[in-house]
Amino acid sequence: MPLLQALLFWGQVDLSADRTAMEWAERTLREAPPQAIILTDQDSHTFTLWYVQGILGKRPDVAVIDVDLWAQEPYRRMIEEELGTEAIEGNPSPEDAARRTERPIVRITNDL
């Protein structure tokens, strides 16, 4: 039965030609100010932006910070090192850390 369903409905589930996420990420990075810090709170945003930056090499000047991952100290320390900021005692918000860099901050709130 699953094989039959796969054969009948493959065209409806094949997303290999869907460029929606890539187009969104490329547009987001293109519109970001130089040296911007982009704050994301959805995995789909974070990983799509990281892919376009890391694999496609676009906008390496922009830092992408995942707000949910920020709660993890190793991640926070890695980002602080990347941004060249000193470690902040306690548990600062990602916005507080971004403000310390004096770089433009872009908060992603839309869907892909």
pLDDT at residue number 16: 58
Looking at residue 90, its pLDDT comes to 66
pLDDT of residue 107: 95
- Cα distance between residue 4 and residue 89, in whole Å: 58
Note the pLDDT of residue 62: 96
Per run of 10 residues, the mean pLDDT along the chain (length 112 residues) is 59 61 93 96 93 94 94 89 76 84 89 63
**The tokens of 89 are what?**
């005692």
Model pLDDT, residue 36: 96
Nearest CA-CA partner of 100 in 91, 109, 112, 87:
87
Q: How many residues belong to the chain?
A: 112
Tokens linked to 57: 């090499």
Q: How many whole angstroms separate alpha carbon 36 and alpha carbon 30?
A: 11
pLDDT at position 98: 86
Q: What is the pLDDT of residue 15?
A: 46
Q: Which helix (H) or strand (E) holds 44?
A: helix 43-54
**Residue 77 exposed, middle or buried by CB count within 10 Å (0-12, 13-18, 19+):** exposed
